[in-house]
């Protein structure tokens, strides 16, 4: 749908705002700009619950929530872990089946890709280099080089194969045969527990808040955002989103590197307020 013809919700119709982080809330430098942080704070102050729904680690997501003044439960590790920032309590943790961990490890070996696996609190990777550097930049925490055989597979909340975007494009037909696997970012194919993807984590938090999915406004950019964006009432893709995200959302807004989310939220706050929905330019 064209961004110039889509009907926008008013804040009166929105029960919660759900935000992916990398490629959405965060800019090209993986940080949240002052403009975007201010726009999110205005939505929060208008009485709309703001929820983070991200693949980032537990520690990083909690730190990010605190830095922009959010204290509602956060959905992290791609939905496998839900944490209450106020108490540091894990409200929900889902883990992969051991055979799924094995399948992903064998896939990484077959394709010559790096494997990274996460527990609820730690990140591990099979070798140093590009993948480890990227994960450390995204999550701002140590990523330990380890042997997967030394980790209890029953503790793993997500597992990914890592590579440069052009290499993952090449192997996509092979990788996509794994059930539930998603292209989280250009550099990652990611597998989450059957009941531990972003939609399940978000649904858990919405139920706690008493907010229905049809009254949820959300933004994302990666393949792992498709299931939840397609289930909520107002799902939008970033301008930089992958094609599969744009295919299931109402419209595309601006690019994350150009504060596209902030521009949308400012428009909603300044022109939609608590009145009736109207048509507007989303870019």
Query: For the segment 4-54, what is each residue's pLDDT rounded down to a tens digit?
Result: 456 677 777 899 999 999 999 999 999 999 999 999 999 999 999 999 999
Give the separation between CA 19 and CA 281, rounded to whole angstroms. 20
pLDDT of residue 227: 95
Chain centre to alpha carbon of residue 194:
16
Q: In this model, does residue 68 exceed pLDDT 90?
A: yes
Query: What fold is seen in the domain 7-94+196-277?
Result: Rossmann fold (3.40.50)
Nearest to 175 by CA among 102, 222, 110, 82: 110
**CA dist 139 → 16, 76, 170, 237, 257 (Å):** 25, 11, 27, 23, 18
Contact 82, 201 (CB under 8 A): yes
**pLDDT band for position 273 (cuts 50, 70, 90):** low
**What percentage of the chain has pLDDT greater than the value 90?**
86
Could you read off the pLDDT of 135-161 as tens digits, one per residue? 999 999 999 999 999 999 999 999 999
Residue 6: its pLDDT value, please? 62
Query: For residue 278, is pLDDT > 50?
Result: no
Q: What is the pTM assigned to this prediction?
A: 0.87
Mean of all residue pLDDT scores within the chain: 91
Residue holding tokens 């059957």? 194
Residue 69 has pLDDT above 90, yes or no: yes
pLDDT one-digit tens code per residue, 91-120: 999 999 999 999 999 999 999 999 999 999
| pLDDT on residue 3 | 42
The per-residue pLDDT for range 174-231, each reduced to its tens digit, is: 998 899 999 988 999 999 999 999 999 999 999 999 999 999 999 999 999 999 999 9
CA 226, 180, 239 angle in degrees (round to 5)? 25
Reported confidence tier of residue 1, pLDDT bands at 50, 70, 90 = very low
Q: 98-191 — its CATH code?
A: 3.30.1240.10
Domain ranges of the chain: 7-94+196-277, 98-191
In this predicted structure, the answer to whether residue 56 has a pLDDT above a threshold of 60 is yes
């Amino acid at each position: 749908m064209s961004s110039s013809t889509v009907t926008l919700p008013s804040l009166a119709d929105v029960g919660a705002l759900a935000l992916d982080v990398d490629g959405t809330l965060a800019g090209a430098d993986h940080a949240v700009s002052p403009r975007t942080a201010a726009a999110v704070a205005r939505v929060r102050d208008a009485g709309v619950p703001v929820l983070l729904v991200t693949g980032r680690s537990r520690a990083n997501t909690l730190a990010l929530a605190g830095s922009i003044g959010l204290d509602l439960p956060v959905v992290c590790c791609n939905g496998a872990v839900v944490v209450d920032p106020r108490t540091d309590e894990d409200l929900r943790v889902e883990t992969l089946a051991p055979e799924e961990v094995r399948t992903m490890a064998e896939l990484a070996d077959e394709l010559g890709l790096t494997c990274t696996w996460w527990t609820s609190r730690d990140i591990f990777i099979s070798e140093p280099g590009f993948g480890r550097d990227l994960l450390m930049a995204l999550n701002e925490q140590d990523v330990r080089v380890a042997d997967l055989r030394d980790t209890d597979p029953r503790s793993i909340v997500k597992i990914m194969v890592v590579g440069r975007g052009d290499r993952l494009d090449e192997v996509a037909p092979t990788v996509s045969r794994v059930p539930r696997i998603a292209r989280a970012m250009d550099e990652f194919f990611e597998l989450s527990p059957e009941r531990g993807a972003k939609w399940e984590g978000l649904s858990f938090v919405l139920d706690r808040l008493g907010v229905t999915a049809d009254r949820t406004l959300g933004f994302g950019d990666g393949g792992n955002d498709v299931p939840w964006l397609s289930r909520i009432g107002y799902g939008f893709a970033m301008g930089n989103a992958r094609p599969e995200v744009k295919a299931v959302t109402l419209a595309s807004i601006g690019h994350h590197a150009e504060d596209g989310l902030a521009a949308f939220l400012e428009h909603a706050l300044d022109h939609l307020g608590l009145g009736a929905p109207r048509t507007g330019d989303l870019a």
